[in-house]
Amino acid sequence: MMEPKLIYIAEDEKNIRTLIATFLQKEGYDVSGFETGDELYHAFEKHPADLVILDVMMPGSSGFMICTKLRELSTVPIIMLTARDTEEDYISGISLGSDAYFTKPFSPVKLVMQVKAMLRRIEMDNPAIVTEDAETDAISFADIKIYLGKLTAFCDEIELKLTHTEFSLLAYLFENKDRAVSREELLTKIWGYDAVIETRATDDTVKRLRKKLADIESVVQIETIRGYGFKLGMKDD
């Protein structure tokens, strides 16, 4: 029997932390709650979790700071919680590498749905048994090669450091490289459902991918199809 997925929650409001943990535990997850992000980070260093939920405003290091530190260690899925529904908070969280964003007050049921969708996507992308075929289970476009079984992507010999969401989105574009993919389709396929995920999630994830492709000087580019979605392309010589 597989061990339950481990989820860490950093939230200084005990009632909210307990509420989230209760809903997740009812779904069979192993949950550890922390009053500060610093406590969560230290626990993660010793025993990484399968998913992290971070409040933005906490005593000590902010959720944004902890998100940045976690990204230096891991591509673990990160969900941010905030009491402020501001464009700046959203952009900060996404640009630092979080995978989803919830504004308080939020529905615990929708949060659990998001957690399940993210972990299910990882399980689909990460087979329990990796065989020798994983080396050949690859798709390519221009100078980028993606190894689906290993959840890795390379530009020549340089590995792209991608979060799970970034990898899933890039792989989906590669699998559909002969056509444009709508934002709605990406929301459904990558985030699992579109009830609480706004279209900005796709745009901001694409922005991060574009920067990472540019940083390694790849010829691959993600073209925007105005009013529709995205398509893979190549830079002009």
Predicted pLDDT of residue 134 = 47
Specify the CATH architecture of the domain 132-234: Orthogonal Bundle (1.10)
Predicted pLDDT of residue 84 = 65
Q: What residues have CB less than 8 Å from 184, skipping those under 6 apart? A: 194, 229
Predicted pLDDT of residue 202 = 81
Domain ranges of the chain: 6-125, 132-234
Predicted pLDDT of residue 128 = 41
Predicted pLDDT of residue 124 = 59
Q: What is the mean pLDDT of each run of 10 residues along the chain (237 residues)?
A: 88 95 96 97 96 93 92 87 66 66 85 85 53 63 88 88 86 94 86 54 85 93 94 84
Predicted pLDDT of residue 133 = 47
**pTM of the entire predicted model:** 0.68
Type of residue found at 70: L
Predicted pLDDT of residue 130 = 40
6-125: which CATH number, 3.30.365.10, 4.10.490.10, 3.40.50.2300, 3.40.50.300? 3.40.50.2300
Count of CB atoms situated within 10 Å of the CB of 93:
24
Q: Give the E-state strand segments of the chain in sequence order.
A: 6-10, 30-34, 51-55, 78-82, 100-103, 138-141, 144-147, 152-155, 158-159, 181-182, 220-225, 229-234
Domains 6-125 and 132-234 share a fold: no
